[in-house]
Structure 1
Amino acid sequence: MTGPLGWLLTAQLDVAGSPVLVREIVGNGFGLLSALFGLRRLVWAWPVGMVGNALLLTVFLGGVFATPQAHDLYGQAGRQVFFFAVSCYGWWRWSRTRRAGGPDAAAVTPRWATGRERLGLLAAAVVGTAVAYPALAALGSWGPLPDAWILVGSLLATYGMARGWVEFWLLWIAVDAVGVPLLLAGGFYPSAVMYLGYGLFCAWGLVSWWRASRTAGQRPDPVPPTYLEAVA
């Protein structure tokens, strides 16, 4: 394959004596930009993130796309596919909220999840990781247990972002805490650095959404119209 796309699929850089794919750097750049848009509650967070998902899918299937690391992280690769699907839902949900709120409205109003929603997240995290681990191990994924949590935790975080739950930042921090050592051990250095930086960014996002949720909770409810006003 020739042209810009062919160059993007094959170009490498030498970093500290190790080859690094340009598309891994670019894909993570799109991921970070998506997170920034998400922090600001902009609908663009979703399509930008989807471009990064497509690029990183090719990075983590080393046996298929002949990456320098030659490791197949099926959990990391699979989550890009699921990200794309969940992002379609998030894009639709945020766009609908944005249209309903008017030109100056945010695409989502942050709030803390209810107790029932948190239990649902916990149950999904435990069951999902328990199911994903043997599946990834059978596929030959490198580091199947941490890879399983990264897959499940990332999906839950993305879904939580679509719903506007403040907790999604905490889920991302938990994913990053596992992802950094795994990626460093596998030689995916740009992704490991991105995860580390993203963990710090998530702490900032958590504070920002927490404050926004408090502001939203302090807004007075609109005064209901009187009967005559409603009729008029």
Structure 2
Amino acid sequence: MNPLLTLFDAEIHLGGATILWREVVGNTFGIASAVGGMKRVVWAWPVGIAGNALLFTVFMGALFHTPQELNLYGQAGRQLLFITVSVYGWTRWLQSRHDSGAAVLPHWATTRQRIVMAATMIVGTVVFAQVFGLLGSYGRWAEAWIFTGSVLATYGMARGWTEFWLIWIGVDVVGVPLLLQAGFYPSAVLYLVYAGFVLWGFAVWLRIQRRAVGEDAPASGL
């Protein structure tokens, strides 16, 4: 028997709920990627890509005949964009490690970059809500918010902006209720667990950023 097909079809039955193992595995990869991102290690990107590929098949439930038989186009679409942005982040961190010895140095985004991020969040949510509505997506406004925020957060991680952790908090606040309502329980649990990692990661990156600034201060006074 093909082990990949076995994983693809494997289910867990808890009470009256049916959960796919690939949803559990995909979300586990997502947590591992978050931990790797916090530690600023390059392997965070390929691990995240593997999880994104699995979760795409989960959220296109009607296409891949999941127990929910429900398409969340925003959740599925963001997995594809995650893969695209992750390739960019993977390349950028590899180049940074080659040039400076560190995959990324955390820092705040500039005022202009923050304005662009805020505008992108607003416009992206409105535009994608219309797109997901036309596609018949479940929870189009929540989906649009999660989709836009997830892409911004992943791009921010690639650029080394410490704010990307805060964007993830905004995504989690909307994502948990949506996924619970839609019956994607492992993914909802991931969002809750991920929120803890996000707060931890934000504190870690902020500490690294402040330490770097402190080390540069004496040199700037010479």
TM-score bin (small chain): over 0.9
Name the TM-score, length of structure 1 as normaliser: 0.92
Aligned to 2:187: 191
Structure-1 separation of matches of 2:39 and 2:15? 35
Q: Name the residue aligned to 2:24.
A: 25
Distance in 1 (CA, whole Å) between partners of 2:27 and 2:79 is 12
Greater Rg over alpha carbons, structure = 1
Deviations 1:118-159 (A, max 9, x none): 001001101111110010010010000000010000000000
Cα RMSD over matched residues? 1.3
Aligned counterpart, 1:142: 138
State the match for 2:151 in structure 1: 155
For the pair 1:79 / 2:78, whether they are aligned, the reply is yes
Question: Which of 175, 178, 181 in structure 1 is aligned with 2:174?
Answer: 178
Write the distance in 2 (CA, Å) between the matches of 1:112 and 1:211. 12
Tell me the TM-score normalized by structure 2. Answer: 0.96
Name structure 1 gaps, 5 residues minimum: 225-232
- The residue that corresponds to 1:100 in the other structure is 99
Report the residue type matching 1:200 in the other structure.
G
- Rounded Cα–Cα distance in structure 2 between residues aligned with 1:12 and 1:110: 40
Distance 2:2 2:25 in 1: 17
Give 1:17 deviation, angstroms. 2.3
Query: Could you tell me how far apart the structure 1 residues matched to 2:217 and 2:179 are?
Result: 47
1:98 aligns to what SS in structure 2?
A: helix
| Aligned sequence identity (%) | 55
Partner of 1:129: 125
CA deviation after TM superposition for structure 1 residue 221, in Å: 7.0
Aligned to 1:213: 209
Shift of residue 223, structure 1, vs aligned partner: 6.6
199, 203, 209: which one pairs with 1:203? 199
Matches within 5 A, 1:61-76: 61-76=60-75
CA distance in 2, matches of 1:49, 1:16: 30
Structure 1 residues 223 and 198: alpha-carbon distance in aligned structure 2, compared to 1, 3 A threshold: closer
| Structure 1 residue identity aligned to 2:89 | G
Aligned residue identity for 1:64 = L
Separation in structure 2 between the aligned mates of residue 168 and residue 220 of structure 1, nearest angstrom? 23
How many pairs align?
220
Alignment partner, residue 50 of structure 1: 49
**Partner-residue secondary structure (3-state), 2:133:** helix
What code does the residue aligned with 1:126 have? I
Counterpart Cα distance in 1 of 2:199 and 2:208: 14
Cα-to-partner distance string for 1:171-216 (whole Å, 9 max, x where unaligned): 0111011000000000000000000110111001111111111111
User: In the alignment, which of 163, 170, 177 is matched to residue 167 of structure 1?
Assistant: 163
Give 5+ residue unaligned stretches, structure 2.
none
Cα distance in structure 2, aligned partners of 1:152 and 1:134: 13
**Which amino acid is the alignment partner of residue 171 of structure 1?**
I
Matches of 1:15 and 1:148, distance apart in 2: 30
